[in-house]
Structure 1
Amino acid sequence: MGRPCAQGRPTCNIVGEFMSTQGEIRKTPLDWLVATFGRLAVSIVIPIVVFGVMILGFQWLRAQTPSSNTQKALLSLVAIVWGVGGTALLYVVMNFVVESLPPNLMRLLQPYVFVGPAMAILGWYLAVPTIRTFWLSLHDRTGEKFVGLSNYVAVFTERAMFEAFRNNLLWILFGATFTVVFGLIIAVLADRSRFENIAKSLIFMPMAISMVGAGVIWNFIYEVRDINSPQIGLLNAIVVALGGEPQAWTALIQPWNNLFLIVVMIWMQTGFAMVIFSAAIKGIPDELLEAARVDGANELQVFFRIMLPYISGTIITVLTTVVIFALKIFDIVQVMTGGQFGTHVIATQFYRQAFTNQNKGYASAIAIVLLITVIPVMIYNLRHFSEEEAF
């Protein structure tokens, strides 16, 4: 039993616990510490147990050897249910455990319930492979003998890689530049048209096509046949109809034949740029544009002195995004030329070394160089996003 301490104050008991006037018991610091660490331990152990059970289930599913299509379909359905249900269960259990913690700890740990698994997956499928690729780049073609930085020396001294770097530069200079310019022009003109929705839909439509599909389509456009044969390629059919001779467009004078491949990228990405620019232009206050026109500015002056400065942040964002796309370009070149006729880029050189020449160390070095090339552009893009959000 407790004894009263003073009028209007909590009652005290002999074991050092304090009972409030409402009858609530305040535990000692030791009890709070034990309870808190116990909950933390449970919050760590339970997700590990749930995750371990999910892995065991997938291992069991992988070990099965279905003999009929029905068994295969049933096994696939079980795998989907197990994966989705297990992931949902993992989140539910982790959230339940964290919500049982004291409020301060709950606010501290609850975001990691949702971010933690995603970060773990990113680490496992991105960070770990990157580290492993870098380690492999320090070895020979078999991946067994350590050779140090010799693969990187080869990357920056071999003629084939110089050609790839040159071509990637062409993709950036022409592909990214014309994509942004055409996207901006079309966005401005489409916003003034009565057929804005139809025009934007047609320009954006190539975005729905995969790069492989686009490469196949443009292969037919550039197709060349003997001069005595009917031309099935659209471009050569037009040239022959006008009295010219058919040309092998992707095998013309190097390196300018790369421009015919870059056209495919411009065709695909212009719709993306147009949509982003159109949204940014619609965000310009009408009062600002009207004030400029009232002051006597013509449409070109409005465009260059009002619109461009106002959406300059959006232009930089789109440009950096397209530059990253150009640096990583692979599918179009692989489908249309396979890197022949001087059209290799960094990614196709990596593919050739990894899967054709079976040179693991050299291919890994090329992959790391490509990663290092992309990272500065990504960092700049992220910083620009942060600055815009802060503004």
Structure 2
Amino acid sequence: MHILFVHRSGSGQFAALIASLVAQGDEVTLITEHPAPELPGLRQLAYTVGDASTQHPALVATDYHLRTGEAVAGLMVSLAASDPPDVVIGHTGWGGLLFARDALPDTALLGYCEYYYRGTGSDLDFGAVTSISQAERQRIRMRNAAQLLALDTLDAAYAPTQWQRQQYPAAYRQRIAVCHDGIDVALCRPDPRGSFILPDGRELVPGAPVVTFAARDLDPYRGYPQFMQAAALVAERHPDAIFIAVGGDGTGYGRPREDGQLWREAMLAETGLAERIVHIPWLAYRDLIRLFQVSAAHVYLTVPFVLSWSLLEAMACGCLVVGSDTPPVKEVIRDGVNGFLAPFDAPALLAQRIEEALRHASLTAPLRRAARETIRTGYERERCINRQLGWIRRLGG
């Protein structure tokens, strides 16, 4: 069977699924704007997107999606003439599937529904102290235009969490299954003999008062300012606590600060934590897992938005996670059962939960075991991949 993947950023969420298909001897092609590192058995076809031509601010994303759809469709037509795919699996959010039905009218289409933007009750207005402008609401609504057109042509679709599925309009929601990308629980596991070496050479081991935070970028969407404020409160009462924040200085999902400062710089100045916290801009995947294995309290905060793999990986490692009381975190963490929850924008309460984890480490063992069990039974990679493979076989049959 020939399976064609479409994703803007290399293999993205499809990496494990692609690897499984290649291992089973299927022919696999990836159409992408940013090719992934070479993988034996995977053919990659790259496309480019020209500069936006629209002057209307609400149409910038739509213009990009349109150009992406045109570029991807062109590659699909060429592929159909020489080696037509049996199934297409693509991310619905960036326009890659916009014209897939026109380019491949007889091919089954499976969509990955990661996020549907909403003007209310979601990330846009979460914690807003001023009203959201009509122009901003219009921009967000238009950002879904290409996705809606693609959804209308799909044979099947799935989302990684229930909450992400719920963001989609009811007319499409009933057609969207829920299946996570999957977590490697064999790699992401507790290791009582594990260790993590800090950049300054210090070695951390399980049992040390290590408080961790990790995000792609240190931005407000993932609660970095609130983490730093809470860490400053914990630092006052726990002089032996070690704070580690992993993440880059990009804008992430949010926007740059109006004063031009990086969030890391601004929060270090505000909290005075420079001598107490270690910032690491990036970690190799296995090193991140080693960090989770020595963490006494891992803080995961997010506005209502896409759920990070890192939360589930930390839980699989047996971390005591202190998460924000926001969807979709509450879908995974039950307060006092498999982790702790705290309000997103209440650093004092967040600090209290971190301190609970540090002071009562021996009493949190059942929560840690429950956290791993949550991932093992609901998000284990092999189970997730097998379910996705089942869809592919049925669609391509």
Name the TM-score class by shorter chain. Answer: under 0.3
Q: Which structure shows the bigger proportion of residues in helix conformation?
A: 1
- Bigger strand fraction: 2
Q: TM-score, normalised by structure 1?
A: 0.22
Between structure 1 and structure 2, the one with the greater Rg is: 1
TM (norm. structure 2) is 0.22
